A and B are shown apart, each in its own frame.
Chain A
Amino acid sequence: MRVEVQGLTVRYGDVTAIDDMSFTLSGNKIYGLLGRNGAGKTSLMSALAGYRKPSGTVQLDGVPVFENAAAMRRVCLVRHSADAADKGDKVSHVLEYGAAWRDTWDNDYALELTELFKIGLRTKVGELSLGQRSALGVVIGLASRSPLTMLDESHLGMDTPTRYAFYDTLLHDFMAHPRTIMISTHLIEELSSLLEEVVIVDAGRLVLQEEADVLRSRGTEVTGNASDVDEFTAGMTVLGEKSLGRTKAAMVYGALEDDQLIRARGLGLELGPIALQDLFVHLTDPVGGKR
């Protein structure tokens, strides 16, 4: 599903959670929505899911989503506390709501997933552990088979084996039923190999939107004599620096041209890759080097 956001702003009283954000997602991919706590991830997803009235426009496949019955049918957002489940309801009731209200709901799959995540059908939602409630959110999200499915911090409280079961399930279901999936997280290292595209937000603004694999090739760590590093990185986007004695390491963002590679070799500089996780940290670092 194609997602278009134009001039989106979300305010809570004096706090601006999303500040005039615009982007387009072409759809049918797994997207990672990355940002620090309070960066605006949940607010953004809430606007995409029609949970709140947007100022600016949010369109799914070319039509506004807010209070649009046809568009709402095709979107599902599960925020960490399982929106589609009332605390007093039993898990089985939650699935009944899904079956009753969602045209695309796959109940057999929902039951299969509750078994996989060991969620008791007769347990009340309020009595589930945090990890189980997160898992129930994943069940609701995946079993909805919505053309746009968004999972907000779905890993919260899950132990490591459960998280990997979640990743595997997500991947299998995505391959069997390709659709637009957006996952917000800050556990980037674990999840990043699943992502095709990455959207990074910080302080309510879009920092970048890029194919994950392209992003992995964008960051370079330049290490060497401090003055040589400074000379080499002049005019480049430097995300962060650290020094040890006369040696300096600078994180540079952007693809390096051949002549730059030759020059680096001439200066005796060492060039190394930067992990996506580190790149994210530096791109959203409030005290990070020069921006």
Chain B
Amino acid sequence: MFDDRSPIYRQIADRIKADVLSGALKADEQVMSTNQYAAYYRINPATAAKAFQQLVDEQVLYKKRGIGMFVSTRARDMLRAQGRETFFGEVVDPMVAEARAIGIPLAEVIRRIEQHENNGGV
């Protein structure tokens, strides 16, 4: 469900993007209609429509008139590229700051990451 602490349309958009990234939503797959989405998550249909419109504007989704909305062919690649841009700023930098704050040497962090690499993780 969605929380009440940030715009719901943004939470919806983020969730659909996450589904595209994880592969739960595939290219050219149809997504739920705004009304289905609204009913399923008990949210205002205008809010759901706003989220979907944003995703269309960002070219994550495309509309087929009279049929519904689908995942763009290149949505996943695009989102991955965007994710890579913000990854260091939003994930790595705070992690480094946190490690410093609690006194973990960065060398130890790096060792841990290398372990993941060796265990076959991506």
Contact surface of A with B, Cβ cutoff 8 Å: 29-30, 164, 167-168, 171-172, 174-175, 188-189, 192-196, 212-214, 216-217, 273-277
> Given that A273-B6, A275-B5, A276-B4 are contacting pairs, would A213 and B50 also be in contact in the complex, using a CB cutoff of 8 Å?
yes
Closest residue of A by beta carbon distance from B45: A175
B28-67 near A? 1/0 per residue, CB < 8 Å: 0000000100110111111100100000000000000000
Number of A-B contacts (CB under 8 A): 59
Assembly CA distance A195 to B3 (angstroms): 14
Beyond the given A212-B8, A273-B5, please list 11 additional residue pairs across the A-B interface where CB-CB is below 8 A: A171-B39, A171-B44, A193-B4, A193-B8, A193-B43, A195-B44, A196-B44, A213-B47, A214-B7, A216-B4, A216-B5
Give the size of the chain B interface in residues (CB under 8 angstroms).
19
Closest residue of B by beta carbon distance from A215: B7
Assembly CA distance A162 to B41 (angstroms): 17
B5 touches A193 (CB 8 A): no
> Can you name 30 A-B pairs with beta carbons within 8 Å?
A164-B42, A167-B42, A168-B39, A171-B38, A171-B39, A175-B38, A188-B4, A189-B4, A193-B4, A193-B41, A193-B43, A193-B44, A194-B42, A194-B43, A194-B44, A195-B44, A196-B46, A212-B44, A212-B47, A213-B8, A213-B9, A213-B47, A213-B50, A216-B4, A216-B6, A217-B6, A273-B5, A273-B6, A275-B5, A277-B4
- B87 proximal to A (CB < 8 A): no
- B88 proximal to A (CB < 8 A): no
Q: Top 7 closest A-B pairs, CB basis?
A: A273-B5, A213-B7, A275-B4, A193-B43, A196-B46, A196-B44, A276-B4
